[in-house]
């Protein structure tokens, strides 16, 4: 399981999440930040500081937001 960054991050790119992540698993993509689901330890620190409420626990994603987990997996698999 992991936390996932969703649509409100697009064009906001606030980046507070990057500063607080204890395992350094958040990276900037083309138009949003992504959390590496293979490294995230589910601490929730990023969710607490996101100013646009873009971050959700994987199990709390609405069906239309599940694509953002797939985008994150794809982003990190291409490194």
Binding region for ligand SF4 (CB under 6 A): 3, 20-23, 25-26, 35, 40-46
Helices of type H across 1-79: 16-20, 45-49, 67-77
Closer to ligand SF4 by Cβ: residue 44 or 67: 44
Q: Smallest distance, Å, CB 56 to ligand SF4?
A: 10
Distance of alpha carbon 70 from alpha carbon 21, whole angstroms = 20
Quote the DSSP letter at residue 22.
T
Closer to ligand SF4 by Cβ: residue 40 or 54: 40
Q: Smallest distance, Å, CB 45 to ligand SF4?
A: 4
Closer to ligand SF4 by Cβ: residue 15 or 41: 41
CB 35 within 8 A of CB 10: no
């Amino acid at each position: 399981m992991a936390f996932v960054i969703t649509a409100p991050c697009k064009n906001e790119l606030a980046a507070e999440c990057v500063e607080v992540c204890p395992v350094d698993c958040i990276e900037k993509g083309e138009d949003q930040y992504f959390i590496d689901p293979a490294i995230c330890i589910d601490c929730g620190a990023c969710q607490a500081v996101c100013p646009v409420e873009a971050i959700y626990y994987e199990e709390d994603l609405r069906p239309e937001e599940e694509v953002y987990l797939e985008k994150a997996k794809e982003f990190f698999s291409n490194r």
